[in-house]
């Protein structure tokens, strides 16, 4: 940990559950910042903009602003600008994220005269009904690219685990015989963007998350030290069956300051 200068932190399941702070998380984040570490919250949340997320976290006591947050939608806008600038996109997402999709041309659902060049998949919700998925399938059959903000299968809420868009994405890929381009976690490009925003190298950063595959092992493949927390969506069997081993496992984000000092649980 001696070389660490920056901390990447997932939000849902690490700092909060259903936007309520987990025990000790607010205090731990303050301690990390006061110790001089650069902080960036990196999230696949697709139901809120960075400003909305920052507002909810600040209200809960977390010392963050919109500039401290990198969302999958924001990363997606940058990806589309580089790889398919000006493309017409059919968006399938739950929540209003227009503010973070700056520069992206979204085709309205009722616009039958415009042919989308990209099917853009965000987070799941009531919008993921048969008609909407079948419409997306039709666009893919006609040659549209499939771009997804993440592959998350589920997330943790105060009422338990809820199904996410990764489950629907797998069906679209198989039915249309295409492979989605992923812009959020676990893509290497997402972590590269996060490191660039902080101005640090991969060996100078740690990633703290509750998803062993998308958060922790993905970060480790990008050269970032991975820290798994036993909160949020964490399940012992998921860790047991994972494709690799986290660099560190701690009970919760509250234990991170001790780990950064070199005295935490390994």
Domain residue limits, the chain:
6-44+186-262, 85-182
Q: What confidence category does residue 45 fall into, taking pLDDT thresholds of 50, 70 and 90?
A: confident
Same fold, 6-44+186-262 and 85-182: yes
As its CATH architecture, domain 85-182 has 3-Layer(aba) Sandwich (3.40)
Three-state DSSP state, 178: coil
Q: How many other CB atoms are found less than 10 A from the CB of residue 49?
A: 22
Quick check: 15 and 53 in contact, CB under 8 A? no
Residue 155 is predicted with a pLDDT of 84
Percent of the chain with pLDDT over 70: 98
Class of domain 6-44+186-262: alpha beta
Residues 6+ apart with CB under 8 A from 110: none
Mean pLDDT of 220-244: 96
Q: What confidence category does residue 109 fall into, taking pLDDT thresholds of 50, 70 and 90?
A: confident
Residue 47 is predicted with a pLDDT of 85
Q: How many other CB atoms are found less than 10 A from the CB of residue 98?
A: 12
DSSP H/E element including 161: strand 160-163
* pLDDT, tens only, 110-152: 788 889 999 999 999 999 999 999 999 999 999 999 999 999 8
Pairwise CA distance, residues 257 & 23, whole Å: 14
Which of 149, 82, 151, 80 is CA-nearest to residue 117?
80
């Amino acid at each position: 940990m001696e070389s660490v200068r920056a901390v990447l932190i997932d939000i849902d399941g690490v700092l909060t559950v259903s936007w309520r702070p987990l025990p000790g998380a607010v205090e731990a984040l303050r301690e990390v910042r006061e110790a001089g570490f650069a902080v960036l919250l990196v999230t696949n949340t697709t139901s809120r903009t960075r400003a909305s997320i920052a507002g909810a976290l600040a209200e809960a006591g977390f010392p963050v602003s919109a500039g401290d947050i990198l969302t999958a939608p924001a990363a997606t806008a940058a990806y589309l600008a580089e790889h398919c600038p000006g493309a017409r996109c059919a968006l399938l997402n739950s929540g209003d994220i227009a503010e973070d999709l700056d520069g992206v041309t979204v085709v309205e659902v009722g616009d039958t005269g415009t042919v989308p060049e990209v099917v853009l998949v965000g987070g799941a919700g009531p919008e993921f009904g048969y008609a909407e998925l079948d419409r997306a399938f039709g666009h893919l059959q006609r040659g549209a690219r499939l771009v997804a903000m993440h592959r998350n299968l589920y997330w943790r809420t105060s009422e338990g685990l809820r199904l996410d868009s990764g489950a629907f994405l797998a069906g679209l890929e198989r039915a249309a015989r295409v492979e989605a381009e992923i812009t959020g976690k676990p893509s290497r490009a997402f972590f590269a963007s996060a490191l660039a925003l902080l101005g640090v190298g991969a060996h100078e950063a740690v990633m703290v998350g509750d998803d062993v595959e998308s958060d922790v092992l993905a970060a480790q493949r990008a050269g970032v030290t991975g820290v798994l927390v036993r909160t949020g969506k964490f399940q012992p069997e998921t860790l047991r069956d994972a494709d690799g081993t986290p660099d560190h496992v701690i009970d919760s984000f509250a234990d991170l300051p001790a780990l950064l000092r070199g005295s935490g649980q390994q």
